[in-house]
Amino acid sequence: MTAPGVGTGGPAQHRVDALEHAFGPLDAPDNPCGAAALLEADAACATLPAAEHVLDAQDFNAEFVPVELGGRLDRMDVLGRVLRPVFRRDASLGFGYGLNCFFAAAPVWTAGDGRQRRQVARTLLEGRRVAVARHGVAHGNDFVRDEFTVAALPDGRLLLDGEKTGMANAARAASLVIFARDVGAAGGGGDGRGHTVLLVDRDALPADRVVDLGRRTTTGMRSAEFGGLRVTECPVPREAVVGAPGGGYELSLRSSLVIRGLIPSIVLAGADTALRTAAAFADRPRADGRSSLDVQHVRDVLTGAFLDLLLIDCLALVATRALHLLPGQVSAYAATAAYLAPKLAAECMDEMSAVLGEASFAGDGAYGMFEKQLRDLPVTSMGHAGSAGRQVSILPQLPFFARYSWFADAEPPADLFRPDLGLPPLDLSRPSLLGDGDPLAATLLALTDELESAGPPSPAGDTGLLRFLTRAFAGELDSLRKSFRDTPIGDRQALASPHCMALADRYSVVLAAASCLGVWRQQLAAAAAEEAADPFLADPAWVSAALYRLCRRLGLPLPDRPVTAEERVLAEVLRRLRGGRGYDLYGSRLA
């Protein structure tokens, strides 16, 4: 029997379970929220009404509203978990119904005054939508390049002008959060500096000044309503400004610290469905009594995909809990999670496509959900500035870490890796845009030292391979230190080289390894103390196989493949498939 996973008790798990079972079994043909209905709605580029009714009944928007304003948002790791039952079924539903509303609300939760926070909370708790119009950035996506402008009027009001396409819920939103280029501000250019954020009541705008630009079709997330608005010389009150006038650039960065930690959860959820589809395909018996699992490559793909999902969830756990526990260091972790998780998910889904063969192109039937998730993933993870923007957020911090943090910082609190433990209140005014240390890297070094000196007791087997792998990652961190310690802090020109971008990619892989090691060590400690622990996660097999996969990604010298460890991981893939459990750290029971 599959163990229930970590952090599976308490109110958070009850909310996850309630939402999962309200949707019902994904593969039930008569389920109005099942795969057949979702695929039919997707083909029609329409939202599935039955699925939205489920979210209405569950007061899903309350998940995006802080508890002090009447909602349920008090922990970012819990929000990531609650999103998964929705995104496991339909990214269009999850993004269009609620997550985009949270993306829009994040600047208001971060810097809005009491009246603005109450306005957005009321809008969401009444089941209405909030949409966001982001500014264009030089390294961003063409899909979100156009923008609004704002200028001061002699009577103290502001004049809003311009247009924006590619806005989710543009036509349905009751409130709009607009990043507008302030034409009167110093630095009011296209890089985001000199922008002002406005909170606007859509119904209060003069009807003759606002035009809906119509819906924009996409290959992925076809049911989501991406549209646009044109606003022509429309006066808005000065009270619409969120935070400081001209402070939109910093506010965008601050709100991204909150948003980025959720990216791993939403891409993981879609990849979970894809892995379940591929595993069921491989596990099906054939007329000759054999199955695709008899092929080594198929076993390798399923094992690797599950390891990638565990890696993604370790990043999700660290990035969300660090907002509470390490606000001064969370910046690099949030950017790394949002950068690396979509890459891992996309790569493992490509590999699974080869297992499914022509079935991966099915638009309906048993394998249609795989094709849908494959199409949805690029749009789901695109974000405002995309992959390059996340790398750009990481890079300026690395010279500082190389000089003052790596091989010097203390470890983070153990609570960072324990989703079953509570967290300090969420205070979005505390996270720093640039980290003042890198304690997560210290976890890697501490585990290296522990394993070198015989390490923690392991009831599940030898940790010799894990000792080798942690040494390899400690060596990689030392190489990064040597590469960056002579780079002047703040020298953006030096950091803009392709070589430095590649080093930032390698750093993200080191952090993924450290996250996995932290999760494994805490599960092992909980098992030794006879506390609630998942025997699979306390076993060194999965973390050894995961780190081996990451080492191979970096091109580091490796010993022979950990065949025994990979066999244990594959066995867990099949146990969770047959037992109806999720492919993440929690292993929650599916409907």
Contact between 463 and 380 under an 8 Å Cβ cutoff? The reply is: no
| Residue 231 β-bridge partners | 162, 210
Tell me the two tokens of residue 132. Answer: 């966001």
Q: Which helix (H) or strand (E) holds 305?
A: helix 296-325
Cβ distance 300 to 569 under 8 Å? no
Provide the token pair at 1.
């029997």
What does the block give as tokens for 302?
A: 């399923």
Quick check: 106 and 258 in contact, CB under 8 A? yes
Residues 191, 250: Cα–Cα separation, whole Å: 12
User: How far apart, in whole angstroms, are the C-alpha atoms of residue 62 and residue 72?
Assistant: 6
Helix (H, G, I), strand (E, B) or coil at 64: helix
One-letter-per-residue 3-state SS of 498-516: HHHHHHHHHHHHHHHHHHH
Half-sphere exposure of 520 (CA within 13 A, CB side): 30
Pick from 395, 260, 251, 252: nearest CA to 319: 260
Residue extents of the structural domains in the chain: 130-246, 384-579
Q: How far apart are CA 550 and CA 547, in angstroms?
A: 5
Q: How many residues does the chain have?
A: 591
Q: What is the pLDDT of residue 383?
A: 52
Instruction: Locate 408 and state its tokens.
Output: 């010097």
pLDDT of residue 227: 86
pLDDT of res. 2: 35
User: CB burial class (10 A; 0-12, 13-18, 19+) of residue 112?
Assistant: buried
In whole angstroms, give the CA distance from residue 480 to residue 282: 40
How many Cα atoms are found within 13 Å in the side-chain-facing hemisphere of 327?
15
Mean pLDDT by 10 residues, the chain (591 residues): 51 92 95 95 92 96 96 96 96 90 95 96 95 67 66 92 87 92 63 80 89 81 86 93 92 91 96 96 85 94 98 98 96 96 95 87 78 87 65 91 96 95 91 94 96 62 84 97 90 84 95 98 90 90 97 94 95 97 96 94
Neighbouring residues of 301: CB distance < 8 A, sequence distance ≥ 6: 278, 348, 351, 352, 354, 355
Q: How many helices (H) and strands (E) does the chain have?
A: 21, 8
Alpha carbon separation from 301 to 279, 361, 566 (Å, rounded): 10, 18, 11
Output the CATH code of domain 130-246.
2.40.110.10
The Cα angle at residue 179 between residues 173 and 182, in degrees rounded to 5: 140
In 3D space, the residue among 319, 317, 316, 338 whose CA is nearest the CA of residue 327 turns out to be 319
Buried b (16+ CB within 10 A) or exposed e, 195-234: bbbbbbebeebeeeebeebeeeebebbbbbbbbbbbbeeb
**Residues 6 or more apart in contact with residue 292 via CB below 8 angstroms:** 281, 282, 283, 284, 298, 355
**How many Cα neighbours within 13 Å face the side chain of 447?**
35
Structure tokens at 114: 């009491």
CA distance 330 to 47: 35
Give CA angle at 102 (586, 315), nearest 5°: 35
Q: Where are the alpha helices (DSSP H) in 193-295?
A: 248-260, 263-283
pLDDT of residue 285: 84
> What is the Cα–Cα distance from 591 to 581, expressed in whole angstroms?
9
Sign of CA dihedral 8, 12, 16, 19: positive
Instruction: Measure the CA–CA gap between 116 and 109, rounded to whole angstroms.
Output: 9
Q: What is the dihedral of CA 307, 312, 316, 318, to 10 degrees?
A: 60
In terms of Cα–Cα distance, which of 192, 240, 413 is closest to 321?
413
Is residue 172 within 8 A of residue 129, CB to CB? The reply is yes
Question: What span, in angstroms and rounded, lies between the C-alpha atoms of 529 and 558?
Answer: 33
